[in-house]
Amino acid sequence: MRVSRLMLVTLRDDPAEAEIVSHKLLLRAGYIRRIASGIYAYLPLLWRVLRKVSAIVREELDATGALETLLPQLQPADLWERSGRWAGYTAGEGIMFHLEDRQGRELGLGPTHEEVITALAAELLRSYRQLPVNLYQIQTKFRDEIRPRFGLMRGREFIMKDAYSFHASEACLKDTYAVMDQAYRRIFNRCGLRTVAVEADSGAIGGSASQEFMVTAEAGEDLILTSPDGRYAANQERAVSLAPEPVALADQPCHDLSTPGQTTIEQLCSGHGFDPSQIVKVLLLLARFADGADQPLIVSLRGDQQLNEVKLANAVQARLGAERGSLLELAPITADQLERQGLEPLPFGSLGPDLSDALLSGARDWTPRFLRLADGTAASLERFVCGANRLDTHRVGARWDPSNPCPESLDLRAAQPGDRCHHDPSQHLEAARGIEVGHIFQLGRKYSEALEARFTTESGADEALWMGCYGIGVSRLAQAAVEQNHDRNGICWPVSIAPFEVIVVVASSQDSQQVELAERLYGELQQAGLEVLLDDRNERAGVKFKDADLIGIPWRVVVGRGATDGQVELVERAGGSKRDLSADELLAALLPQIQAGRQGLNNPAQS
């Protein structure tokens, strides 16, 4: 390919819309162009990258015995209603683009395909003899992101590989889950990514176990917590740890304390010398469900700890979801909401865990009793400071007792860097930022039971299928590779996914000897099976060199003044090492390096 025919348009300055380095570089180097908020055109250079990533994914999944298919992007609402996810994906999080056709039927543009694939399995997989089966697709997906950002990292349209496996037993599911884990590690290694596998929350997809694969990068939206010995790694949404030991509160009779204007933990501590770990803070929240019911919550948390909203949402869903459907939203209760419900004002800033259910009597739309939960750090306190449920008043020396019963104790706190590890308290959690590029799930029977995907076992019994789900963000992976592989001059693509492997640069297009030698090398390298880009533009050498660095082709061959003596310069993009050599020696020097790069042999090991 010749640069003059590539439709290459590079930018000197960073576009105003781009926030992170990889987004800036993909725009500047002519890989993508923004069409609308969160919607990008993949230009020819990036499309070559995406095809290479997809080829690696296909090779590794085909090697596991998985079967490629292609599922419809338009999905009927009734499948999602049967699984119980339609309301959550449309009215709740609202991430699904949905529409109504001319016959009045509701449809959605698929952000994921569990319902469709399970409906197909219900029709096609009837016997244990057909199992296990693993189906995958590489498909455009859609998410109605409220605030698309970071280019391809969080867009409204994206390319994804999703796979779904079906099994006769949980043991078989776990075996395939392990096989896919290893396939993912090989995929990311071959793509030149440094990734870490972490325990993760299953989110709206559900299931009993899941694992994310994170590309470590400062621009990552996720916080990863790991132990120094490498034995533990988790997304903060899922992470567990040992909280610091609390400072004991002096043994004293329970009494009221006047606290005018002291409505925060910091104000209480500075005003009275308390330690935050001696305080139980009470969070008043409202859970909104798919059935239209609104459930008030009281959550008790130790004052030095932060609430993990994902853990809380999972706990609420587990306790009420079977009766009320999907949890759509969790949000703090406000004074305005109390007024709209016809309820008396509450002393926010002085609430205690024993707030009476009677305060909810007469609520117009809310369930007239609180669901009470406590984090283990609060539940384990022998005595504590808390609100007295009266304005500007707190209780000192409160205990959990029959008049103030301890709520159900759960892990609801957010693990933090520096916390002690469960497996070894001498180890302390360390933090890193990560970009999620893959996620694998053990779904169990959640979807097969909802959509009646059943099979006949070897003993003749009728049972629901066991399922697994495995996703890779193909377009996100490409940008994550840039986030990990760049320098101040531009992109440094790994050979295995680079749009071209070599770029031949003619220093002066006016020099016939340079042009002749460059054309010869261009042909020879192509004949040897290398993917070569020839910069044949009538531009200054400095412009060509800057563009070559910006677009990030792994190897650059410069044909300059040495052409008269048959000499060229070979430059490795990553690191910038240079050497002069004879044009006749070029192929022998270059071919082994590129062959190793194609196989990912020079890439870092995964963890």
Same domain, 519 and 570: yes
* Chain CA centroid to CA 258, Å: 46
Cα–Cα distance measured from residue 351 to residue 386, given in angstroms and rounded to the nearest whole number: 7
Start-to-end C-alpha separation, the chain: 37
Which of 497, 458, 388 shows the shortest CA–CA distance to 168?
458
Q: Which residues of 497-509 are buried (b: 16+ CB within 10 A; e: fewer)?
A: bbbbbbbbbbbbb
Tell me whether strands 233-235 and 255-258 are parallel, antiparallel or unpaired: unpaired
Q: Which residues of 521-542 are buried (b: 16+ CB within 10 A; e: fewer)?
A: bbeebeeeebbbbbbbbebeee
The two tokens of residue 241 are: 């740890």
Same domain, 331 and 352: yes
Q: What residues are paired with 136 via a beta bridge?
A: 68, 163
Same domain, 479 and 490: no
- Kindly calculate the radius of gyration of the chain based on its CA atoms and give it in whole angstroms: 29
Question: Which residues in the chain land under pLDDT 70?
Answer: 202-208, 601-607
Q: What is the dihedral of CA 155, 156, 159, 164, to 10 degrees?
A: 110
% helix / strand / coil in the chain, to the nearest 5? 30, 30, 40
Which of 119, 155, 151 shows the shortest CA–CA distance to 140?
155
CA atoms within 13 A on the CB side of 356: 9
Residue owning tokens 């005003």: 271
Residue 26 domain-assigned?
no
Cα–Cα distance measured from residue 450 to residue 355, given in angstroms and rounded to the nearest whole number: 38
The two tokens of residue 518 are: 């460059």
Residue 417 domain-assigned?
no
**pLDDT score at 602:** 56
Domain extent, residue 549, equals 486-599
Residue 192 domain-assigned?
yes
Same domain, 467 and 511: no
Same domain, 270 and 179: no
Helices then strands, each counted (H, E), the chain: 15, 31
Same domain, 366 and 492: no
Beta strands, E only, 145-273: 157-167, 195-199, 209-216, 222-226, 233-235, 255-258
Give kind and range of the element (H or E) at residue 288.
strand 280-289
Residue 267 domain-assigned?
yes
The two tokens of residue 512 are: 């016939």
Using DSSP's 3-state secondary structure scheme, residue 100 falls into strand
Same domain, 265 and 327: yes
Residue 10 domain-assigned?
no
Residue 338 domain-assigned?
yes
The two tokens of residue 525 are: 């390298």
Same domain, 61 and 104: yes
The two tokens of residue 258 are: 């006047």
Helix residue ranges, H only, 401-558: 446-450, 474-484, 512-527, 541-551
Residue owning tokens 């697709």: 137
Q: Domain of 355: which CATH number?
A: 3.90.960.10
The two tokens of residue 296 are: 């008030």
Q: What residues are paired with 572 via a beta bridge?
A: 555
> What's 420's DSSP letter?
B
Give kind and range of the element (H or E) at residue 24.
helix 21-28
Sheet holding 408-410, edge to edge: 327-332, 280-289, 294-302, 371-375, 408-410
Tell me whether strands 393-398 and 233-235 are parallel, antiparallel or unpaired: unpaired
CA atoms within 13 A on the CB side of 562: 13
Q: Domain of 508: which CATH number?
A: 3.40.50.800
Same domain, 172 and 82: yes
Residue 3 domain-assigned?
no
| Contact predicate 54/120, CB 8 Å | no
Give kind and range of the element (H or E) at residue 329.
strand 327-332
**pLDDT score at 207:** 62
Same domain, 437 and 397: no
Residue 245 domain-assigned?
no
**pLDDT score at 392:** 95
Sheet holding 384-390, edge to edge: 255-258, 393-398, 384-390
- CA distance readout (Å), 156 to 37, 43, 49, 471: 8, 17, 20, 17
| Contact predicate 111/89, CB 8 Å | yes
Same domain, 56 and 95: yes
Same domain, 128 and 230: yes
In the chain, how many domains are there? 3
CB atoms within 10 A of CB 12: 7
| Contact predicate 276/386, CB 8 Å | no
